[in-house]
Amino acid sequence: MPLQNRVDPFGELFAAPVRGTLFGNRGGRFHRDARTLGRRRWVSRQWICCVLDFKGRQRDVWGRFYTELFFLDEVTALAAGHRPCFECRRKDAVAFAEAWAKAGKLPKRPSAPEMDDVLHPERLDGRAKRSHRRKIDEMPDGAMIVLGDGPHAVRDNSLLRWTPDGYDARKRWPKGVAAEVLTPPATLAVLAAGYQPQWHPSAGRLTSSPP
């Protein structure tokens, strides 16, 4: 039986047999000894997304140390409120922080805790997912919105419909329409400043042909 360790763009955890392309955690362990969940969904403000394999390390998933989570891709992880890990994805994490500094016109790139302090209230409204509304025309590639039949990722002036197994449909966005945005505002600014997130391969297959 799959564990309840997949993360959707709303930040909710669900069970699925396919693991996705990235994994991460939320600052430590919050699962029970029986490898089930209670009410907790995070330990600290350090919500990260990581590579699946790093220096050959072996993990006992939902063992003693922390609650491993899995994402379809980085676009999904960013929508859920995570950021790149500075250990296993240092190059990406530095690029993310530099885009953060560029977006905020900061004199130097912020530290991981400084970014976490901004992201945490943007990702949560109490225990629930915090979202906000913006016009679709203003969304950078890699943003995740809710429209019609569920979450959609913005890419190449199109909307790609998200599913647990990949993106399965493409449509052009309706101009001038406001939508519920799942990606935190600070992360939207990072994307707009040039950060390139990792996409699931299905996104490339959809955007390589006319909608």
Longest CA pairwise span in the chain (Å): 49
What gap in Å lies between CA 110 and CA 209, rounded to an integer?
A: 39
Nearest alpha-carbon partner for 11 in 135, 169, 182: 182
For the stretch 152-209, pLDDT in tens is 999 998 999 999 999 999 998 888 889 999 999 999 999 999 999 999 999 998 865 5
- Residue 28 has which token pair? 């430590």
What gap in Å lies between CA 179 and CA 10, rounded to an integer?
A: 14
The predicted structure's pLDDT at residue 19:
79
For the stretch 19-55, pLDDT in tens is 789 999 999 999 999 999 999 999 999 999 999 986 6
Structure-model confidence comparison of residues 15 and 19, the more confident one: 15
The predicted structure's pLDDT at residue 56:
66
pTM, rounded to two decimals: 0.94
The predicted structure's pLDDT at residue 176:
85
What gap in Å lies between CA 98 and CA 108, rounded to an integer?
A: 8
The predicted structure's pLDDT at residue 120:
96
What gap in Å lies between CA 119 and CA 108, rounded to an integer?
A: 18
Q: According to DSSP H, which parts of 49-130 are helical? A: 74-80, 90-104, 112-123
Structure-model confidence comparison of residues 125 and 211, the more confident one: 125
The predicted structure's pLDDT at residue 210:
47
What gap in Å lies between CA 53 and CA 198, rounded to an integer?
A: 15
Contact between 176 and 123 under an 8 Å Cβ cutoff? The reply is no
For the stretch 131-145, pLDDT in tens is 999 998 889 999 999
Using 50, 70 and 90 to split pLDDT, how confident is the model at 211?
A: very low
The predicted structure's pLDDT at residue 202:
95
The predicted structure's pLDDT at residue 173:
81
The predicted structure's pLDDT at residue 123:
95
DSSP state of 31: B
**DSSP per-residue string spanning 107-147:** SSPPPHHHHHHHHHHHHEETTEEP-EEEEGGGPPTT-EEE-
Edge to edge, the sheet with strand 69-71 lists 13-14, 6-7, 69-71, 22-25, 48-50, 83-84
Look over the chain and give the mean of its residue pLDDT values, rounded to a whole number. 92
Nearest alpha-carbon partner for 112 in 79, 87, 130: 87
For the stretch 58-100, pLDDT in tens is 777 888 888 999 999 999 999 999 999 999 999 999 999 999 9
The predicted structure's pLDDT at residue 11:
96
